Structure 1
Amino acid sequence: MVVEITNDVQSLLLIMLAVMVAKMVGDFFSASLYSSLLRLKCIPYLDVEPFVHHRRERLNLELFSARDVMEPHVRVLHLRENIASLAWLLASTSHGGFPVVGRPKPDHAQVFQGTIKRLELCMLLENEHIFEPETSNESFSFSHPLTYEKITVEKLPKPSRLAVLLNRYTTDPRYQQLFINLEPYINKSAMSVQAHFSLQRTYIIFRTLGLRHLTVVDLQNRVVGVITRKDLMPLPLEERLRLQLSPQSPDAGE
């Protein structure tokens, strides 16, 4: 801009040098306005590289695993979910998404099938015609599922109406006998990592793909935890890794 105003091309190198030096000096003495606004608004922004220190030494995240930072107490949903239980879960939690588990075969254990967002669950509960009564087996009819456009929204159109519906579903006894089939609506392409997966690579995957939730599974593909963006922020990450590095008590192995 200065060159265009003055039409002095000969001073271009000096102008660029002055701007670069001014920026370096400003960054050295204070954080950028952009970073300050992110912290002020509590936006969970992840840096390109995680900088975690312990006793003034930078930790190598390759030496840690996903289980070290995951939240082990996970609220999971089933492919065949009760309406009253689902409404109570949405009313009592603020989670943005949930892992969904199911049995590949009747005699198998519940394994990870995919994830579903909170907004999608809310939109499903506003359509009572897809509710089905309890049956003796786990089979469901797939007739007339809702379209992708109908359940994928950025925000709830009528939050007050949803609050009324959740209250009715949790208090009316007849909804304890009704179920919903979540299989047509879950994200079966959702990422998951095993519990022993490298924490450094977990961070890279999470940030590169722009994830909000990352499910952690064991060797049998059973859900054992979940990692959210806030778990990978510098301070929470440092706190959890400090617990892993703290010396165990003398009677810990007894």
Structure 2
Amino acid sequence: MELIPRSYKFWNYAPSIPAAVIFMLLFLALTVLHSWKLFKTRTWFCIAFTIGGFFQIIGYIGRLVAHNNTTTMGPYIVANIFILLSPTLFAASIYMTLGRIIRSVGGEHLSVIRVSRLTKTFVWGDVLSFVVQGNSSSLSVLGYETWAKVAVVGGLAIQLVSFSIFWLTAIIFEKRIRRSPTPECLIPGIPWQKALYMLYAVSALIMIRSIFRIIEYVLGNDGYPLAHEWTLYIFDSVPMAIVMVVFFLWYPSELQKNKDIEGNIPLAQSYSNLHG
């Protein structure tokens, strides 16, 4: 193991103060809105998403501090690890939303993966991605830079594969329910289609971001992405801000269990008969 010299620069540039402040404030505002929405609607399965917003805030504070501390490991670790792991927390709530959509329209029999296992399958994959990426910081501190990079790329690859399977699962479910509508999906007040489109949008953005991050770490410190700060903001910061905006605008609170709608088969059937 090689010890990192004190004069070693962890950044190929001095992180921009204005950019760090702008995105710190942007994610602060978005996280406050998500916190308000979370407690107002009591949509507790979205708590991981809100925590992801706090991770973004901490990460950009780290970049702000790093401007005058490019040779200090602390700000570098904080900035990288919190911004890197935030989408993993977003993903946890996104995965749970699909299960809620399927249950809200009584489409359990149309899911390619049993609903009781669906959320657990993707969330455990998410946890694995989180743990693998999270270990990269300790490896960096110990001086195992190569293994740290492998951990990040491996964790991102797990996330990318998980989201790809998730996307395919959602698309198959949508095709099946359009071909064989359930009585519940015809009831007004269950925005399952909007919720699905929201999931497609946020999943696509996180996948694009994961691909960028994999390319960034594979190319290494001498590669263009890590040598130019604008790439992080365009391919990571902006997409994640959009993810928070989209998720907030189409918040899945209406997918919460409703005694008057979910599970009320007589009501669902009468509505189906009325329109069929």
TM class by smaller structure: under 0.3
User: Which of the two has higher C-alpha Rg?
Assistant: 1
TM-score after normalising by structure 2: 0.21
Q: Which has the higher helix share?
A: 2
Q: Which has the higher strand share?
A: 1
